[in-house]
Amino acid sequence: MRAWPVTLREDPGPPARFSSLLLRPLRRNEQADWDRVRGVNTAWLAPWEPSDPALERPDKIEPWTRPSFGSYVRSLNRQARSGHSVPWVIEVDGELAGQVTAGSMVYASQRSAVVGYWVSHHLAGRGIAPLALAMMIDYLLAERALHRVEICIRPENEASIRVVQKLGLRYEGVRPRFIHINGQWSDHLVYALDTSEWNGPGTLVARWYEWLRTGSDS
């Protein structure tokens, strides 16, 4: 396994609507770009991002101030070096375009992770999210030797459901009131893939290229 920091790259070429995609760590000198991307996508992401129910009871929590950007980056790298997460930003043709993150990583007898992702609104629909997810899953199963990866999606998030369907992930069912999202406990659909459904390094990326070639979501 490569030590953190780790960067992955794909250069798909036509007919993809972008030339290169990098998965890499967020850098401390990117605060302006990060603030810009997050700012323009606030409304786009609000219906899907986790929220903290404790913040609805300010009388029950200690005063809190938002950590600095530098502290945020250091925290991401610390978690990555400890093996608890893989926090990548998605860079498309030199532009900061989103994130794909593996968290809740466990080893020993379970060897699993949960993956989440988002892509900037103006780049949605170009196949970026499924390629980033494919690269992440292949990395987790090949280099981190995990057995299982799962993605939890709100039923209303049709775009995200299409992402996992393009890669052929298996639908497992509904987890009622599973994650606190945008102020309420929300049901989530669970999609997963394990090593019995994986043919070795590059399997998911190859599925993405097949989807790109055929234009099929099957």
* Number of CB atoms found within 10 A of residue 204's CB: 25
pTM more than 0.95? no
Question: pLDDT digits over 34-46, tens only?
Answer: 999 999 999 999 9
Q: Which stretches of the chain score pLDDT less than 50?
A: 58-65, 217-218
Q: Is 133 helix (H, G, I), strand (E, B) or coil?
A: helix
- The Cα–Cα gap between 183 and 43 comes to 14
- The Cα–Cα gap between 49 and 133 comes to 17
Instruction: Answer for the pair 166, 130: CB distance below 8 angstroms, yes or no.
Output: yes
Question: pLDDT digits over 59-84, tens only?
Answer: 444 444 467 999 999 999 999 999 99
Cα distances (Å, whole numbers) of residue 216 to 63, 191, 211: 50, 19, 5
The pLDDT score that the predictor gives to residue 133 is 99
Percent of the chain whose predicted confidence (pLDDT) is above 90: 85
Q: Which residue, 100, 154, 160, is CA-closest to 125?
A: 160
Q: Return the amino acid letter for 99.
A: Q
Cα-Cα-Cα-Cα dihedral sign, residues 187, 118, 183, 63: positive
Cα distances (Å, whole numbers) of residue 136 to 8, 131, 203: 9, 9, 11
- The Cα–Cα gap between 69 and 97 comes to 18
Q: Which residue, 120, 126, 177, 127, is CA-closest to 152?
A: 177
In order of their start, the domains of the chain are 8-214 (3.40.630.30)
Q: In what order do the strands lie in the sheet with 112-119?
A: 8-10, 21-24, 86-92, 95-106, 112-119, 148-153, 184-194, 170-181
Cα-Cα-Cα-Cα dihedral sign, residues 135, 69, 97, 32: negative
